[in-house]
Amino acid sequence: MKQLILIRYGELGLKGKNKNKFIERLVENIDGACNDIAGFSVRSTWGRIWVEVDAAAYPQAVARLRRVFGIYSLSPVVSVPRDMQAIQQAAYEVLRKCLPQGGGFKVETRRADKTFPMTSPEISRAVANDLFHRLDDNYWADMHDPPFTLQIEIRGEGNFVYGETVHGAGGLPVGCGGKAALMLSGGIDSPVAGWMALKRGVSVEGIHFYSFPFTGEQSKQKVMDLAHILAGWQGAPFTLHVVHFTEIQKAIHQFCREDYGITLMRRMMFRLAERIAKQNRCLALYTGESVGQVASQTLESMSVINEVTNMPVLRPLIGMDKEEIMAIAKKIGTYDTSILPYEDCCTIFLPKYPKIRPRLQEAKEMEQALDIEALLAEALAKTETLTIE
Ligand code: ATP
Ligand code: MG
pLDDT band at 99; cut points 50, 70, 90: very high
Q: Which amino acid residue places its CA nearest to atom 22 of ligand 1?
A: 185
Distances (CA, A) of 24 to 28, 98, 107, 168: 6, 32, 32, 18
**Res. 101: pLDDT tops 70:** yes
Q: Which residues 6+ apart lie within 8 Å of 296 measured at CB?
A: 262, 263, 266, 289, 302, 305, 354
Q: What percent of the chain has pLDDT over 70?
A: 98
Question: Which of 184, 185, 211 has most ligand 1 atoms within 8 Å of CB, for mutation?
Answer: 185
**Res. 15: pLDDT tops 80:** no
Q: Give the pLDDT score at 346.
A: 65
Identify the nearest ligand to the CA of 290 by its number. Answer: 1
**Res. 350: pLDDT tops 90:** no
pLDDT band at 143; cut points 50, 70, 90: very high
Taking the CA of residue 294 as reference, the ligand 1 atom at the shortest distance is 11
Q: Which helix (H) or strand (E) holds 52?
A: strand 48-54
Q: Give the pLDDT score at 341.
A: 86
Strands 139-141 and 103-111 turn out to be parallel
Residues of the chain with CATH 3.40.50.620: 179-388
Ligand 1 and 190: CB distance under 6 A = yes
Under 8 Å between Cβ of 69 and 63: no
List, in sequence order, the alpha helices (H) in 68-201. 84-98, 120-134, 189-199
Tens-place pLDDT, residues 361-389: 999 999 999 999 999 999 999 999 999 99
**Res. 155: pLDDT tops 80:** yes
Query: What is the whole-number distance in angstroms between the Cα of residue 365 and the centre of ligand 1?
Result: 25
Residues of the chain with CATH 3.30.2130.30: 2-167
Under 8 Å between Cβ of 257 and 353: no
pLDDT band at 122; cut points 50, 70, 90: very high
Q: What percent of the chain has pLDDT over 90?
A: 88
Query: What is the whole-number distance in angstroms between the Cα of residue 351 and the centre of ligand 2?
Result: 15
Query: What is the whole-number distance in angstroms between the Cα of residue 122 and the centre of ligand 1?
Result: 60
**Res. 317: pLDDT tops 90:** yes
Q: Give the pLDDT score at 157.
A: 84
Q: Give the pLDDT score at 345.
A: 65
pLDDT band at 344; cut points 50, 70, 90: confident
Tens-place pLDDT, residues 200-231: 999 999 999 999 888 888 999 999 999 999 99
Range name among 13-17, 184-188, 365-369 with the lowest pLDDT average? 13-17
Identify the nearest ligand to the CA of 183 by its number. Answer: 1
Q: Give the pLDDT score at 351.
A: 86
Identify the nearest ligand to the CA of 289 by its number. Answer: 1
pLDDT band at 17; cut points 50, 70, 90: confident
Strands 203-210 and 238-244 turn out to be parallel
- Domain 2-167, what fold? VC0802-like (3.30.2130)
Q: Give the pLDDT score at 333.
A: 98
Architecture per CATH, 179-388:
3-Layer(aba) Sandwich (3.40)
**Res. 327: pLDDT tops 80:** yes
Q: Which amino acid residue places its CA nearest to atom 11 of ligand 1?
A: 296
Residue environment code for 331-367, b if the CB has 16+ CB neighbours within 10 A, otherwise e: ebbbbebbeeebebbbeebeeeebbbebeeeebeebb
pTM: 0.93
Q: Which amino acid residue places its CA nearest to atom 2 of ligand 1?
A: 187
Taking the CA of residue 207 as reference, the ligand 1 atom at the shortest distance is 29
**Res. 301: pLDDT tops 70:** yes
- Mean pLDDT for 327-340 is 97
Tens-place pLDDT, residues 57-90: 999 999 999 999 999 999 999 999 999 999 999 9
Ligand 1 and 184: CB distance under 6 A = yes
Ligand 1 and 172: CB distance under 6 A = no
Taking the CA of residue 293 as reference, the ligand 1 atom at the shortest distance is 6
Identify the nearest ligand to the CA of 268 by its number. Answer: 1
**Res. 12: pLDDT tops 80:** no
Q: Which helix (H) or strand (E) holds 179?
A: strand 179-183
